[in-house]
Amino acid sequence: MAVYTQVGADELARLLERFDVGEPVALKGIAEGIENSNFLLDTTRSRYILTLYEKRVSEIDLPFFLDLIQHLAGRGLPVPRALANRKGERIQRVAGRPACLIEFLPGLAVTESTPEKARAAGEALGRMHAASVGFDRTRPNSLGMEAWRPLLERCGTAADEVAPGLYARLDEALAQIEREWPHQLPRAVIHADLFPDNVLMLGDRVTGLIDFYFACTDVRAYDLAVMHSAWAFDLAGERYDAGVGRALVEGYRSAFHLSNEERRALSVLARGACVRFALTRTWDWLNTPADALVTRKDPLAYVRRLESYEREDLFA
Ligand SMILES: Nc1ncnc2c1ncn2[C@@H]1O[C@H](COP(=O)(O)OP(=O)(O)OP(=O)(O)O)[C@@H](O)[C@H]1O
Ligand SMILES: N[C@@H](CCO)C(=O)O
């Protein structure tokens, strides 16, 4: 359960005094998610999300994320804006953490991807890329390709505690990716983490794109590759669903142009995505205290995906 910091009644009352959102009725911790503490807040007026930023989200980056969301919302994307308090401030401090009061979006996080859902989600990513043209702020990808080797070295051979030989396996895959990386491809603002659990849907309609806290400037097609690796396999990474993979790319292309050069690079970009998530999951596996109220995600589910991408070009 991702509630690292508790919020008491007095603390909540002090926060809500600064807004025109009515009186609190209920505050419940949200189990999903691993990065931040999220609460569902009901007031006499409406329903909101209260997020306290933990771990990887740095306060310095928050204005970039909030401005991007504001920009996308202004262009009709279903993304959750942070509310400003009466003084016009969007970033609050709650229980000692930076925090935002955020619009609640309807819909359920996707738990099982189907071609129909993948097509709609791919299209939403394409719409996001189209809408972010003209957003002129940039943010380096702190978990981009250049960061993977340092992260691998920080895990070190302790990675082998997750599975024997894991360090060497990731080292070898990364060396190949570094040789093939398509540095020349167009760069843009990307979401960088558009997993099924970050897409809210009602039926096959996308009602929310959430969790922009890895958004950054990087190779644009990498965003589609990240999605492909997350959507087109079962959770354990054992089974590839070609129908889902195809629908995702088709949906994207219905909303945004994908050049031949980008399409040819998707395979190495997807291997890169696998190494990125295998590495961050390995790091979390090794550094999450045993008594933490959060489920550690399996790094090997991404090593299995990596093997599928290495075996054949799944985008051919
Ligand atoms: N604006 C929102 N509207 C409705 N529900 C939301 C909203 N933001 C978050 N949620 C709910 O909270 C859950 C956790 O949110 P989120 O994915 O942002 O957490 P996180 O800790 O940043 O997670 P992770 O990085 O692991 O995906 C989501 O799956 C969704 O159910
Ligand atoms: N989506 C990521 C967690 C956030 O980086 C994962 O599943 O590993």
pLDDT tens-digit readout, 13-41: 999 999 999 999 999 999 877 778 999 99
To which residue do tokens 């590495």 refer? 279
What per-residue confidence (pLDDT) applies to 306? 98
What per-residue confidence (pLDDT) applies to 1? 46
Q: Angle formed by the axes of helices 260-287 and 145-155, to 10°?
A: 30
- 89 DSSP β-pair partners: none
| CA–CA distance, 142 with 127 (Å, rounded to integer) | 24
- 27 DSSP β-pair partners: 41
In 3D space, the residue among 256, 284, 116 whose CA is nearest the CA of residue 190 turns out to be 256
Across 137-172, b (16+ Cβ under 10 Å) vs e yields eebebebbbeebbebbeebeeebeebeeebbebbee
In 3D space, the residue among 86, 74, 6, 66 whose CA is nearest the CA of residue 38 turns out to be 6
Return the higher-pLDDT residue of 55 and 42.
42
Atom of ligand 2 nearest to the CA of 143: 5
| CA–CA distance, 278 with 288 (Å, rounded to integer) | 15
Ligand 2 pocket, residues with Cβ under 6 angstroms: 34-35, 193, 195, 277, 280-281, 297
**For 275-312, how does the pLDDT look when each residue is reduced to its tens digit (9 = 90+)?**
999 999 999 999 876 666 667 899 999 999 999 999 99
Q: What are phi and psi of 140, to 5 degrees?
A: -60, 150
Which numbered ligand comes closest to the C-alpha of 282? 2
Checking if the pLDDT of 56 tops 80, the result is no
Residue 39 CA to ligand 1 center (angstroms) comes to 9
Q: Are 249 and 228 in contact (CB under 8 A)?
A: yes
Q: Which fold has domain 9-104?
A: Phosphorylase Kinase; domain 1 (3.30.200)
> Hey, is 217 helix, strand or coil?
strand
The domain locations on the chain are 9-104, 109-311
Structure tokens at 190: 């990307």
Q: Are 87 and 31 in contact (CB under 8 A)?
A: no
Residue 108 CA to ligand 2 center (angstroms) comes to 18
Mean pLDDT along residues 161-173 = 97
The domain 109-311 is placed in CATH, from the list 3.90.1200.10, 3.50.50.60, 3.30.450.40, 3.20.20.70, at: 3.90.1200.10
- 200 DSSP β-pair partners: 109, 208
Atom of ligand 2 nearest to the CA of 214: 5
Across 187-223, b (16+ Cβ under 10 Å) vs e yields bbbbbbbbbbbbbbbeeeebebbbbbbbbbbbbbbbb
ipTM: 0.93
Length of the chain: 316
**For 177-208, how does the pLDDT look when each residue is reduced to its tens digit (9 = 90+)?**
999 999 999 999 999 999 999 999 999 999 99
What per-residue confidence (pLDDT) applies to 87? 96
Helix (H) or strand (E) holding 28: strand 24-29
Residue 306 CA to ligand 1 center (angstroms) comes to 26
Atom of ligand 1 nearest to the CA of 35: 21
**For 113-139, how does the pLDDT look when each residue is reduced to its tens digit (9 = 90+)?**
999 999 999 999 999 999 999 999 999
Residue 92 CA to ligand 1 center (angstroms) comes to 18
